[in-house]
Structure 1
Amino acid sequence: MNTQTAMINGAELKLELLGPEDAPAMIVHHGAPGLGSRSEPLRSFGPFADEYRIVTFDARGSGESADVPPYTHTQWVADIDAIRELLGLEQVIMAGGSYGGFLAMEYALAHPDRVSALILRDTAANTDYDHLAVERARTTDRVVIDEWTIARIGVGGFADNAEFERYWRSILPLYDHNYDPEAVERKARATRYHYATHNHAFGVNMPAYDLTGRLAEIGCPTLVVVGRHDWRTPVPASQAIADGIDGAELVIFEESGHSPQLEEPERFQAVVRDFLRRAGIGGTG
């Protein structure tokens, strides 16, 4: 494992690389701007380092990377390409989950010649399904989620990191198929909070986000995976992506919520390896 700090478009970003340098490369983008980090892609895609070069990083404004705006899709896509160029990669497999899936699709559209395959996990091409997340939060029998929290789903508007943490602790119980209060507490404690990043991502970027009219432009092999019980980006959102990209494959994980890569890891890894091999992007193993 190679951990490094790199100056990318004026911001210091924390990168972590795994696997053989001469293997096909996969850049994996985490979700949840201001909450997410490379830790999830490392857990999810680390096992692929036996056959692929795995590139993970904390996006600007998240994890251990610098809080240097702008926190826009255009900037985050430019950062992905700068990382690719820094590492001397001609083509990459582009992978992303949740909000990272938004950016993976945006990258494939902006740099189609650089993407050999696309892997999307629990994501969406627009905000059409956000109301379902609000309904799920309001009607869940798992925990009681107050209206202050519900009003901030997909919107942001936090005054500081203390408010942001309050929100995250309240909403976290919805993410996994099987609710584990101790796991929720561990996740909340391990999170690095960057409220300004999240506010911009959801308060400014998302109202204008809609890739549905451009999905047909994506020409690379595409795998779309989603948990059957995902409260945040439900199955219909993934179905719409798969329907919009010619030849895209949709795989539903029946025992998962928002994170099938962690809740059903063996099946997830088998599905991804099979997809990449059929796409002609086999590894070194």
Structure 2
Amino acid sequence: MAIYCYDPAPYNGRPILLLHGLGADGHSWGLQFPALIEAGFRPIAPDLPGFGHSSVVEPHWDIPSITALMADWLQGRFETPMPVAGLSMGGTIALQLTLTRPDLVNRLALVSTFAFLRPRHWQDLTYLLKRFLVAVTRGSAAQADMVAFHLFPNPDQADLRRELVQLIDESDPEVYRTAMRALVRFDGRRRLSEIHIPTMVISGALDSTVPIETQRELARGIPGAQHVIIPGARHAVIADQTARFNSVLLDFLQPAGQPSQSETFRTP
């Protein structure tokens, strides 16, 4: 298996693993690279197997299998344990990695993600069903525009929409469909209480892909977890509210102390 990885600051001594969302690649964290590097971190942002430039050799793409592959890839290449941040699909892999290989993770940031995803409202169900059916019947590229406008609806986000459409167009259609099915099947709720490292759940207040209540439940299930909701942000909070997100992430990575479990509404 060949894993392609963005490693823009190998000279820095504090690695942090960044795991991307469905249809994206490691460079989707590019807006975080400068802030992390300036703070002394070494961003490690791989293309997950089957996405971007990374090959996939497993005939069955699922969260446990991909997590195990990524754990094997990490070990021996980078100094561990390290902080791990995951967005959406990447967050489920970050969760699984923390549960199955706690020796590799010392701090966990879960962004726009979930332990178990079930739509709560008909609007959420309609979008997810339409997205899945279009991907299955017409291919991942056919639903690229729909996803792009859902994540980046504002007129000034045209560049972000174009970049996302291109990434989805370049994805392996079979891997994309299989990953969607894997996310629907994922259920990490029963093991959340096993996580005993500093954890932060970061949500966009306007996220219509993973409901806020689902993200609240994720935070409540992890002992001592913080939950920060960023105003004005949607599911792709790392791109549509970059400065606010970076401030929240860096505060978490370099805290004066770890507060007790709480939910915070913050406008950095």
TM over 0.5: yes
Give, as a single letter, the amino acid of the residue that structure 2 aligns with 1:189: Q
Report if the CA contact (8 A) 1:173-1:179 is conserved: no
The CA deviation at 1:77 is 0.9
The CA deviation at 1:98 is 0.6
| 1:260 equivalent in structure 2 | 237
Report if the CA contact (8 A) 1:177-1:229 is conserved: no
* 1:213-238 deviation line (CA, Å, top 9, x unaligned): 11111111001111111110121121
| 1:135 equivalent in structure 2 | 123
Q: Which of 180-189 and 97-106 deviates more?
A: 180-189
| Shift in alpha-carbon separation, 1:78–1:279, aligned structure 2, 3 A | farther
The TM-score normalised by the length of structure 1 is 0.80
Alpha-carbon distance between aligned partners in 1 of 2:174 and 2:7, rounded to the nearest angstrom: 27
Identity of aligned residues (%): 22
Q: Tell me whether 1:112 sits opposite 2:102 in the alignment.
A: yes
> Among 140, 145, 168, which residue is 2:144 paired with?
168
The CA deviation at 1:46 is 4.3
| 1:209 equivalent in structure 2 | 186
Alignment of 1:153-192 (within 5 A): 153-154=131-132, 158=136, 163-176=139-152, 178-180=154-156, 182-183=158-159, 184-191=161-168, 192=170
Give, as a single letter, the amino acid of the residue that structure 2 aligns with 1:75: S
Gaps of 5+ in 1: 1-10, 139-148
Give, as a single letter, the amino acid of the residue that structure 1 aligns with 2:13: A
> Among 21, 28, 32, which residue is 1:40 paired with?
28
| 1:81 equivalent in structure 2 | 71
Aligned residues: 254
Alpha-carbon distance between aligned partners in 2 of 1:177 and 1:152, rounded to the nearest angstrom: 18
Report if the CA contact (8 A) 1:97-1:122 is conserved: yes
| 1:57 equivalent in structure 2 | 46
| 1:90 equivalent in structure 2 | 80
| Shift in alpha-carbon separation, 1:39–1:23, aligned structure 2, 3 A | same
| 2:173 equivalent in structure 1 | 195
Give, as a single letter, the amino acid of the residue that structure 2 aligns with 1:36: A
| 1:30 equivalent in structure 2 | 20
* 1:118-162 deviation line (CA, Å, top 9, x unaligned): 01100011022x354x61485xxxxxxxxxx76343567525xx6
| 1:5 equivalent in structure 2 | none
Report if the CA contact (8 A) 2:15-2:83 is conserved: yes
Report if the CA contact (8 A) 1:177-1:257 is conserved: no
Alpha-carbon distance between aligned partners in 1 of 2:222 and 2:109, rounded to the nearest angstrom: 12
Alpha-carbon distance between aligned partners in 2 of 1:137 and 1:172, rounded to the nearest angstrom: 18
Give the secondary structure class of the aligned counterpart of 2:235: coil
* 1:235-269 deviation line (CA, Å, top 9, x unaligned): 11211111111111111111111122222222211
The CA deviation at 1:99 is 0.6
Report if the CA contact (8 A) 1:25-1:91 is conserved: no
User: Which stretches of structure 1, 4 residues or longer, exceed 4 Å deviation after superposition?
Assistant: 154-157
Give the secondary structure class of the aligned counterpart of 2:106: strand
Gaps of 5+ in 2: 259-268
Give the secondary structure class of the aligned counterpart of 1:219: coil
